[in-house]
Structure 1
Amino acid sequence: MARGTASGGVSERELFASEAENFAPRELQAAPEAYARTSPKPAKPARGARPPAASWLAVVNLLYAKAVRATTTALATELDRGTPFLFVPALLGCGTIIYYGLPEEPGFQPLIGGLVVASVALAFVPTHRQALRLLIMAALFCLLGMFLAKFETWRAGTNMLGSEISTRLTGRVAEIDHMANGRVRLTIDVLTTAKPKLRYAPERVRLSARKIPPGLVVGSEIEGAVRLMPPTGPVRPDSYDFSFRSYFSGIGASGFFMRGPDQVKGDTPLPIGARLFNGVQNLRNTIAERIRGLIGGPEGEIAAALVVGIRARIPDEINEAMRRTGIYHIVAISGLHMALVAGTVMGSLRMIFALFPGFSSRHPVKKYAAIAALAAIVSYLFISGGQVAAQRSCFMLGIMLIALLFDRGALTTRNLAISAFVIVAISPHELIGPSFQMSFAATAALVGGYALWSEYRQKRRRAPPATGRPLAIAIVSKIAGDIGSLMFTSTVAGIATTAFGVYHFQRVSPLSLIANLAVMPSVSFLVMPFAVLGSLAMPLGLDAPFFYVMGKGLTIMITVAKWISDRSPIDGVGLISSHSLALLTIALVIVTMATTWLRALALPFAFAGMVTLTDIRMPDVLISEDGRLVGVPIGDQMLAVNRARPNAFTVENWRRALPTEKIVGPIDSLKPKSGRKSIMILETPAASDPDDIPAEQVASGVPDQADVDATSADGVTGIGFDCHDGLCIAVHASGAIVAHATNIWAARRACDYASLIVIEDATAKNVCSTGPPLILTKRELAQHGSAAVYLSNGETGQVSEVRFALSEPYRPWHAQRQFSRDARGLPPYEQKQRAYPSTKFPRVKKPPTEYSAEPSED
């Protein structure tokens, strides 16, 4: 009797075999020898005959069993390697994104309740139910991310100004930024306000001034007459929200000094933390001035940005050239700079230790160098301003250096997860910004890419090395390998960040690979190493030669950037859908974190993300939140606007989003040139990075206006806005007529033929008694922010949908909007004239007038 077979011919193996074995085809099992000798061979099926359905089912079951077995093995391998820990920051990020995407502000009670329920459920689930435990843990970390975001919102609690107001302000300077246009941007901690006194004054404001008192430093107290304005919202729906950033930065208002501020003597004692912060800021400004004085020109400004993170004075044309060529990441302090600083310090110290072989053989000099490198990158983090990318890089390198001190391996993917976990736990709002997303996307892609490259290199090293190669061939091979590595790095990082750059800025850099290959050698060998050496030699006064070499390297970089930028095609690509970005992000997370064949699960997400990139409808009309600016695409890659000098940042954002190539100004019917109408082609400076928007817009609230190059166009009629007596009319490609009116009387002239009327008046009511037009007043825009209007596809050209940037109930960073005069339907504030301006009678002393952001009875 064969082994494992009981009496009666019943096999015990078949009785207790797994499901996969039971479904295995009988042809794969070895037949007994005696049966093989006596039994006839089975007849082959005739050619063209269909195999029985049972055999197909057996094959499918076999493949299914193999797939289940392979998946189970891969999941077990991932668990053994600690891969679930790598997904913890991603799950926290999911919770954070869900919180910020909620239509209204949640309370603490449901979040805490959800955390408690998930924790209890996890405690009672048996340990052998791994899949269920992992699902509960995923839900737990998502809820934890929501709780952390909610806690940060409560902790920030920034007092936001509700409406424009002029007052006299006394405050303490927290930051000083000299702008490229000659103005100075000041971040001020408000101490007192007067004439009128603000009842709910913001704690910190950002103001611009034409000049400041000489010798003004961080920590000084100043006073002056200022014009304060509340933080603005997005310039269009789904774009960058300035109120959101201001709320979490503690900036409650922006504006400008109406006259130069005066420095006053302060007698308020500062805590030790504030004195330390002021000292660091003054040190940064001192170092920046020293570098500017030694190098000079735009090279000096970029050098100051690389050393201390102050980028405000970099000329706009240089910023635009670097953005168009895809090398602007060099200016933003990130992993490249941290790695070069740590490498320069560590390499220099090890070279010095090598000069003393006796000492080096008795002491762990490698660990000494690692300690020095760790101190260098921490100092660099503080002196550079501590941006998000710099924090991530410092955390990652710090973990690697600490692992080196304890003779442990440095797991780069785990370092990335730890740094992401720390940043999401401390500042969840950074997850929404482009800096965090692009920085971590590039780093994650590079970590995953170099992991695959390392596996490939290890397989190649198993082969016997080539011997007897000439020196010239070895040198050429080394250079080619370095160039290939640089190309690989630029390509992987560019692909990983392209989707995020398009979503936030609607632009790509077609020649970024060429530009990075051209400038990275000078940055890696001339700029950053000599920046480190110059910073170390600065206390001794020996920094001039090092910064001279750094300036020459920056000259090469600027020259290359300008040359490639002049030959770069148009970089505006229009809007992409948010769900496509989410799908591509999921694919990036899977391919980076997984270590087995489960990486292939990223392919369907990546494919779906690529297919749905253009799954979005472009708006037909864009309206600014103050009701002053309207944009209408008119064909031939042109965007018509109703103002001759529009806000530069707004129209540039609209131009890239739609996308169009030229901005067309209005036609003035009352001022024809040479007997004909003319259109104006507006040239607008690009501003794609919200951190580098002109000072007049972000710092002071004064709109920056585009430069106008007025050129006449023969035979142009019906193109752009035709303006006359407070009413501007434009015809959309669908035939719909869009009107902008400065008052209700001008708007009523367009009631009979316009499909959309935008009224720059918050008090307008009952504009059109009859007629079909949709009317948007300044009050609605003040309440709900900028608007995107979609017209119907039919011949009627009527409005089919209006999307506002904001919705009610307001989130905490938008709650101040309900208190503005425009949102309450009130006219602009006018200061009351005194009844006796020149009398000599004694005036009755009144209590100081207080201004409230809350609704009043006026």
Structure 2
Amino acid sequence: MGRILRVIQNVWISGEAVLLAQRGNMLGWVPVCLAVGIGCYFTLTWEPAWPFFVWLAMAGLGLLLIARLLPEAVSPFAVGLSLCLIGFILAGVRAHAVAGPVLGWRYYGAVEGRIVAMDRSQSDALRLTLDQVRLDRVPPDRTPQRVRISLHGKGPAGMTPEPGLRVMTTAHLSPPSGPVEPGGFDFQRHAWFARLGAVGYSRVPLVGAAAAHDGHAGLMVFRIRMAASAHIQKRLSGDTGGFAAAITTGDRSAISQEALHALRVSNLAHLLAISGLHMGLLTAFVLAGLRLALASHPVIALRWPTKAIAAVGALAAAAGYLALSGGNVATQRAFIMVAVALAALTIGRRAFSLRAVAVAAIIVLVLRPEALMGPGFQMSFAATTALVAVFGWLRDIDRNWLPRWAKPVFATVVSSAVAGFATAPIAAAHFNAIAHYGLIANLASVPLMGLLVIPAAVVALVLAPLGLDWIALWVMGLGLDWILGVAHAVAALENARGHVVSPGAWVLPLISLGFLFVILWQGRLRWGGLPVMALGFALWQGAARPDLLIADTGTLVGIMTPEGRALSKSKGAGFVARNWLENDGTGASQEAAAKLWQDGDIVHLSGKRALAEFQGCTAGQIIVASSTADSLSGQPCMVFDPDSLKTTGAVAMHRSGQGWQIKTARDIAGERLWTNWPKAAPQDQYVRISPTKRP
């Protein structure tokens, strides 16, 4: 017994020493704990009531008090658990704070509203986001705060949408749709936090209802952005002008789908988003320029705090860039990171450190907890964390053996490789694609962005009041032409893009936690994060796709075959088909997948005529109809029609020895603030889905 006690005592002493060695490095774990709590909130299938949040707040406060009484080596665990509870509460409070009416039915009629955003859809149609919405015969308390409409028609001559303009049109609107398959991207949740209560399209002319005279500060900045974008596009034509407008004003509406495709395939699409790269290059250029200008005057250089003054000036430039670019979430993250780095520089601290990254992540998670679930947050902080950690390790390595000219080349290669490897799993998980030549494309493009494009953009802004901005824009255009050329050349290479299967729910969390443990933990135990990452990749490798997928409207069916997924239609439901095939990890087209379809036990009745001509089903068959299938009620087969699918969302089915295992989008998404499932469904609708059990 005494020997056992001594072993336990030795283990405790050793463990306590390991934990105490983490002192001074605990700040990096704060956003990790917050993220765990936020992630737990979003994975629930039910919506907590307010008393639940009150109990969590009391528990979190109690843990903080208990932490003061625990031994120093153990108290961080209590604090960490408290931070997890705080993250959960932050996500819940944010979800309730953005609450607004969501359209509960399909609407066709007059729509009136004020233009507050403009962009392009995947079909290249101009999209308008409207607020101050009015719908015909819809009471104000049921009218969405914002709606988004794609314009598929042509407006009257001289009619150009502009920021703040109040417009009218006749449009088809519907509630934000659910995932295209169970566990897929949840557009309902995304729309909830964007305060979009309805989405749709219009094919009739857009009519101006009131002039854009609103003095709202946000709309004034919006007008300046769009005016700047139009000015740039007059100076630079085609995709070059659209690229320039995107990286300066955030307006991507002028870039062709062909150019976007080339940028995505070559892994250069991140250059379009005003993120950490652009914000960092801009502030670095302004900071260096101001320091050089201040240092040129002897009195100022000797008596004034030139570093702090230059940092303040660079921060002002970053804030202006944030406003001009529209201030989306990615740009806000980049600005916060730059602001933290400049503040550290001002007080004499290291500008780029893991503590600075942690502070930036904390601020973003507190302000926008929902950002955690998006690829932008995950990729930007993964890249930044990896870069800061790797260059921190390289700081202690002697690099004097490198020639002077080779050091910046070495830094560029290392930074591109590190950022690429850190973001590749996240990009592959969200977009099901890997750019095989992405490193080459980035090495050929990113240095030019820093040396030519961003400096030219700053000079163009300075020269604009003199009317000489065309000179800098011409130089900027040369750099962008090169980048577009690289994108098209790389995209044209054989096997430029690979496809990967969609991972399971636990894959990215395991990879991320293992990665963060390697980065943040102090001591040799940090390498324990590698097996955790390996487990995540192993689970990804074994990810199984559904044998049968049914769209939530019954308009498309996909069944897995030895040759790949077979689709029931070669045209129509293109968005759903594209997502299914991408999640399968194949690059097949919908037309090619439709050629694999063969009628058998799975029957798709597309349209009322096909349903009317159907003679009846047999036991073991699965019938999917795109129209209400009342005529098949009571038959011995499984029947899915729009009425039943409305209550369940998209359906995924797996074959097993006991038959079909059914999983619905409603099973995964649950009953949350942003879901829009019918409150109650007739019992016969569930009978149609399965004669033996409710899915």
Deviation per residue, 1:734-756 (Å, 9 max, x gap): xx544345358458535127632
Q: Which moved more, 1:441-450 or 1:285-294?
A: 441-450
Provide the C-alpha distance between the structure 2 equivalents of 1:70 and 1:19, rounded to a whole number of angstroms: 16
- Residues 761 and 352 (structure 1 numbering): CA distance in 2 closer, same or farther, change over 3 Å? same
Structure 1 position 812 matched with structure 2 position 673: yes
Structure 1 counterpart SS, 2:301: helix
Match for 1:429 among 352, 364, 370? Answer: 370
Per-residue deviation, 1:96: 0.8
Provide the C-alpha distance between the structure 1 equivalents of 2:309 and 2:74, rounded to a whole number of angstroms: 47
Once the two structures are superposed, the pairs formed by residues 438-517 of structure 1 within 5 Å of their partners are 438-457=379-398, 477-517=403-443
Q: Which moved more, 1:655-664 or 1:118-127?
A: 118-127
Match for 2:265 among 324, 327, 344? Answer: 324
Tell me if structure 2 keeps the 8 A contact 1:526–1:549. Answer: yes
Structure 2 counterpart SS, 1:385: coil
Structure 1 counterpart SS, 2:108: strand
Structure 2 counterpart SS, 1:252: strand
- Residues 288 and 190 (structure 1 numbering): CA distance in 2 closer, same or farther, change over 3 Å? same
Structure 2 counterpart SS, 1:222: strand
Q: Which moved more, 1:545-554 or 1:220-229?
A: 220-229
Tell me if structure 2 keeps the 8 A contact 1:188–1:204. Answer: yes
In structure 2, the residue matched to 1:610 is 537
Tell me if structure 2 keeps the 8 A contact 1:345–1:372. Answer: yes
Structure 2 counterpart SS, 1:806: helix
Structure 1 position 168 matched with structure 2 position 110: yes
In structure 2, the residue matched to 1:58 is none
Per-residue deviation, 1:799: 4.5
Tell me if structure 2 keeps the 8 A contact 1:762–1:822. Answer: no
In structure 2, the residue matched to 1:219 is 164
Provide the C-alpha distance between the structure 1 equivalents of 2:68 and 2:165, rounded to a whole number of angstroms: 62
- Residues 139 and 179 (structure 1 numbering): CA distance in 2 closer, same or farther, change over 3 Å? closer
In structure 2, the residue matched to 1:530 is 456
Tell me if structure 2 keeps the 8 A contact 1:236–1:805. Answer: yes
Tell me if structure 1 keeps the 8 A contact 2:66–2:78. Answer: no
Per-residue deviation, 1:261: 2.0
In structure 1, the residue matched to 2:635 is 769
Per-residue deviation, 1:241: 1.3
In structure 2, the residue matched to 1:232 is 177
In structure 1, the residue matched to 2:688 is none
Structure 1 position 755 matched with structure 2 position 621: yes
Provide the C-alpha distance between the structure 2 equivalents of 1:238 and 1:162, rounded to a whole number of angstroms: 22
Letter in 1 for 2:559: V
Tell me if structure 2 keeps the 8 A contact 1:818–1:824. Answer: no
Structure 2 counterpart SS, 1:656: helix
- Residues 199 and 539 (structure 1 numbering): CA distance in 2 closer, same or farther, change over 3 Å? same
Structure 2 counterpart SS, 1:761: coil
Per-residue deviation, 1:398: 1.0
Structure 1 position 351 matched with structure 2 position 292: yes
Provide the C-alpha distance between the structure 1 equivalents of 2:541 and 2:612, rounded to a whole number of angstroms: 39
Q: Which runs of 5+ in 1 are unaligned?
A: 1-17, 24-60, 467-473, 666-679, 683-718, 722-728, 826-858
Provide the C-alpha distance between the structure 1 equivalents of 2:67 and 2:308, rounded to a whole number of angstroms: 45
Per-residue deviation, 1:247: 0.8
In structure 2, the residue matched to 1:148 is 90
Structure 1 position 656 matched with structure 2 position 582: yes
Tell me if structure 2 keeps the 8 A contact 1:632–1:730. Answer: no
Structure 1 counterpart SS, 2:419: helix
Structure 1 counterpart SS, 2:678: helix
Match for 2:499 among 557, 562, 572? Answer: 572
In structure 2, the residue matched to 1:631 is 558
In structure 2, the residue matched to 1:677 is none
Letter in 2 for 1:154: H
Once the two structures are superposed, the pairs formed by residues 159-308 of structure 1 within 5 Å of their partners are 159-177=101-119, 183-194=125-136, 200-209=142-151, 210-212=153-155, 214=159, 216-265=161-210, 275-308=216-249
Per-residue deviation, 1:512: 1.1
Tell me if structure 2 keeps the 8 A contact 1:389–1:436. Answer: yes
Report percent identity of matched pairs: 27
- Residues 762 and 818 (structure 1 numbering): CA distance in 2 closer, same or farther, change over 3 Å? farther
Deviation per residue, 1:429-481 (Å, 9 max, x gap): 11111111111111111121111111224xx6xxxx78xxxxxxx8xx23433
- Residues 558 and 824 (structure 1 numbering): CA distance in 2 closer, same or farther, change over 3 Å? farther
Letter in 2 for 1:539: P
Letter in 1 for 2:302: S
Provide the C-alpha distance between the structure 2 equivalents of 1:179 and 1:620, rounded to a whole number of angstroms: 30
Deviation per residue, 1:262-303 (Å, 9 max, x gap): 112369x96x6xx10010100110111111111111011111
Q: Which moved more, 1:177-186 or 1:108-117?
A: 177-186
Deviation per residue, 1:686-715 (Å, 9 max, x gap): xxxxxxxxxxxxxxxxxxxxxxxxxxxxxx
Provide the C-alpha distance between the structure 1 equivalents of 2:3 and 2:438, rounded to a whole number of angstroms: 55
Q: Which runs of 5+ in 2 are unaligned?
A: 686-695
Deviation per residue, 1:154-179 (Å, 9 max, x gap): 11112111111112122222123367
Letter in 1 for 2:471: P
Per-residue deviation, 1:151: 0.6
Tell me if structure 2 keeps the 8 A contact 1:789–1:799. Answer: no
- Residues 355 and 120 (structure 1 numbering): CA distance in 2 closer, same or farther, change over 3 Å? closer
Q: Computing the radius of gyration over CA atoms, which structure comes out larger, 1 or 2?
A: 1
TM-score (ref. length: structure 2): 0.90
Structure 2 counterpart SS, 1:169: strand
Q: Which has the higher helix share?
A: 2
In structure 2, the residue matched to 1:57 is none
Tell me if structure 2 keeps the 8 A contact 1:720–1:730. Answer: no
Structure 1 counterpart SS, 2:397: helix
Per-residue deviation, 1:664: 5.4
- Residues 299 and 204 (structure 1 numbering): CA distance in 2 closer, same or farther, change over 3 Å? same
Match for 1:782 among 634, 646, 650? Answer: 646
Deviation per residue, 1:580-615 (Å, 9 max, x gap): 221111111112222433322312212222222223
- Residues 481 and 195 (structure 1 numbering): CA distance in 2 closer, same or farther, change over 3 Å? same
Provide the C-alpha distance between the structure 1 equivalents of 2:530 and 2:588, rounded to a whole number of angstroms: 38
Per-residue deviation, 1:524: 1.8
Deviation per residue, 1:492-532 (Å, 9 max, x gap): 22222222122211111111111111112222212111112
- Residues 311 and 118 (structure 1 numbering): CA distance in 2 closer, same or farther, change over 3 Å? same
Per-residue deviation, 1:384: 1.1
Report how many residues are paired. 678
Deviation per residue, 1:655-690 (Å, 9 max, x gap): 12113343354xxxxxxxxxxxxxx678xxxxxxxx
Provide the C-alpha distance between the structure 1 equivalents of 2:385 and 2:545, rounded to a whole number of angstroms: 32
Tell me if structure 2 keeps the 8 A contact 1:618–1:658. Answer: yes
- Residues 644 and 181 (structure 1 numbering): CA distance in 2 closer, same or farther, change over 3 Å? closer
Q: Cα RMSD (Å) of the superposition?
A: 3.0
In structure 1, the residue matched to 2:311 is 370
Provide the C-alpha distance between the structure 1 equivalents of 2:223 and 2:643, rounded to a whole number of angstroms: 43
Tell me if structure 2 keeps the 8 A contact 1:163–1:819. Answer: no
Letter in 2 for 1:761: S
In structure 1, the residue matched to 2:519 is 592
Letter in 1 for 2:621: S
Structure 1 counterpart SS, 2:134: strand
Tell me if structure 1 keeps the 8 A contact 2:37–2:88. Answer: yes
Deviation per residue, 1:347-399 (Å, 9 max, x gap): 12223234323432232222221111010111111211223332222112212
Tell me if structure 1 keeps the 8 A contact 2:427–2:433. Answer: yes
Provide the C-alpha distance between the structure 2 equivalents of 1:343 and 1:120, rounded to a whole number of angstroms: 45
Letter in 1 for 2:664: F
Provide the C-alpha distance between the structure 1 equivalents of 2:184 and 2:606, rounded to a whole number of angstroms: 26
In structure 2, the residue matched to 1:139 is 81
Tell me if structure 1 keeps the 8 A contact 2:90–2:366. Answer: yes
Structure 2 counterpart SS, 1:348: helix
Deviation per residue, 1:48-78 (Å, 9 max, x gap): xxxxxxxxxxxxx69x95x766653342232
In structure 1, the residue matched to 2:21 is 77
Per-residue deviation, 1:207: 1.1
In structure 1, the residue matched to 2:692 is none
Per-residue deviation, 1:97: 0.8
Letter in 2 for 1:587: G
Letter in 2 for 1:113: W
